[in-house]
Amino acid sequence: MSTKKIGINNLSAIPMRIEPSDKAEIVNQILFGETFDILEENEKWTKVKLKHDDYIGWIDKKQWKETAQHQQTHNVVKELFQEILVDEKKIFAPMGSFVEKRKLNKLAIKNSILHDAKLFLETPYFWGGRTFFGIDCSGFTQVVFRANGINILRDAYQQATLGETITFENIRNEDLAFFENPETKKIIHVGIIFKEDKKIKIIHASGKVRVDILTNKGIYNEETKTQTHVLCLIKRISK
């Protein structure tokens, strides 16, 4: 009887592609310490299924190591990055990475979802990204929520299936707002709600991680004086 092979990422963050090719679209990133089941291998590429959210894609065979089991006990990096030592070499593990307890020094960090979200302000948008070097809208929400002890799925349409649906009149800080393509009605965007200066605002990754106004119709960009996204629903996700 064959035993399922398990891999782990020991680099800061590696790309996950939709097909086994350097030219294929990057759909996700695997952060330091995340583990995965090996589904398929060839000479250069490995097809994997992530343990934490079941996301499937292809990674470079040189960018992972085999491990005996999935994470049992670990800490989550709660800063934009944490410097750690791996085999006596420095690694900068980005927020949301899984790190062995003995390797993470700063354990007393008690931040909020909103605090951590604002750390990413001005981070460039990057399709499939999950780090402060580049991040997409749902990668942004997934990493920030994980840093605060809440595990959610990877893509916006998947995240929209979680939690409790909230009316616009009852929103509160750290609810998630989801936005749709008005033609297809499919969910294509997500951001984190907060209230400030008597306004309802949203922090989200669109071009960069930015703050805009949220109305009951969608996202309003005060700089361009235009509505950029159409509101679909609001969800409250708690521990």
State whether the Cα torsion 64-109-129-35 is positive or negative.
Answer: positive
User: How far apart (Å, rounded) are the C-alpha atoms in residues 20 and 161?
Assistant: 29
Q: Which residue has the tokens 């062995």?
A: 100
CATH ID of 1-110, from 2.30.30.40, 2.70.70.10, 3.40.50.1980, 3.10.310.50: 2.30.30.40
Q: Pick from 201, 183, 205: which is nearest to 134 by CA?
A: 205
What does the pLDDT read at residue 1? Answer: 43
Q: Which of 70, 74, 115, 204 is catalytic?
A: 204
pLDDT at 190: 98
pLDDT at 108: 43
Q: Which of 70, 115, 189, 232 is catalytic?
A: 189
CA distances from 148 to 39, 111, 116, 120, 224 (A): 30, 7, 9, 15, 33
The token pair that represents 161 in the structure block: 């299936």
Residue 137 among the catalytic residues: yes
Q: Which of 52, 137, 229, 232 is catalytic?
A: 137
Q: What is the pLDDT of residue 41?
A: 96
pLDDT at 239: 62
Distance CA 144, CA 120 (A): 9
- Buried b / exposed e over 210-225, threshold 16 CB at 10 Å, is bbbebeeebbbeeeee
Q: Is 204 a catalytic residue?
A: yes
Q: What pLDDT does 71 receive?
A: 78
Instruction: Enumerate the CATH 2.30.30.40 domain ranges in the chain, comma separated.
Output: 1-110
> Superfamily for 113-236?
endopeptidase domain like (from Nostoc punctiforme) (3.90.1720.10)
pLDDT of residue 2: 54
| Owner of token pair 């592609």 | 17
Domain with CATH 3.90.1720.10 in the chain: 113-236
Q: Which residues of the chain have pLDDT under 50?
A: 1, 104-109
